[in-house]
């Protein structure tokens, strides 16, 4: 049973560019959440998708957008990249409901030059 997978593993972009990160949830999971983790910090919640709709959003600008597909996979898009967007982007999948556990993918390391 495959866990959460993310692609690409690493990415280097320049300021002003746009990036798309991809996530496949653990088999059977219907909810995908995205987090940004700066070096030495805890993950920061970006948004969460369920039934192909954004359900919750953290304190991130509209430059950050996402999508969930019918097979529950998800994309995170970031436009007009800033140096401060350099971070590890984590995807986590779970089942909607009372189970507390979220399963995290290995992340995409984004570097903005």
Partner 1 sequence: GQSLEQPSEVTAVEGAIVQINCTYQTSGFYGLSWYQQHDGGAPTFLSYNALDGLEETGRFSSFLSRSDSYGYLLLQELQMKDSASYFCAVRGLSGGYNKLIFGAGTRLAVHP
Binding residues for partner 1 restricted to 70-109, rule: CB under 8 A: 90, 92, 94, 96-98, 100-107
Q: Which is nearer to partner 1, 12 or 80 (CB)?
A: 12
Find the part of the chain contacting partner 1 (CB under 8 A) among 15-23, 53-61, 62-70, 72-80.
Answer: 53-61
- Considering only CA atoms, which of 14, 59, 15, 53 is closest in space to residue 36? 59
Give the interface segment with partner 1, choosing from 17-25, 37-45, 63-71, 74-82 (CB under 8 A): 37-45
- Report helix, strand or coil for 84: helix
Q: 70 or 98: whose CB is closer to partner 1? A: 98
Handedness of CA 12, 102, 35, 43 (dihedral sign): negative
CB of 18 to partner 1, least distance (A): 25
Contacts of 84 (CB under 8 A, 6+ apart): 112
Q: Which residues contact 43 (CB under 8 A, 6 or more apart)?
A: 35, 36, 37, 90
Binding residues for partner 1 (CB under 8 A): 4, 31, 33, 35, 40-45, 48, 55-56, 58, 90, 92, 94, 96-98, 100-107
């Amino acid at each position: 049973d495959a866990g959460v997978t993310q692609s690409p593993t690493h990415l280097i972009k320049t300021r002003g560019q746009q990036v798309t990160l991809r996530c496949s949830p653990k088999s059977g999971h219907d909810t995908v959440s995205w987090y940004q983790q700066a070096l030495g910090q805890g993950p920061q919640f970006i948004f969460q998708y369920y039934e192909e709709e954004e359900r919750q959003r953290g304190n991130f600008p509209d430059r950050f957008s996402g999508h969930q597909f019918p097979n529950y996979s998800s994309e995170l898009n970031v436009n007009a990249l800033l140096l401060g967007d350099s971070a590890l982007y984590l995807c986590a999948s779970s089942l909607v409901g009372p189970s507390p556990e979220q399963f995290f993918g290995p992340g995409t390391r984004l570097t903005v030059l």
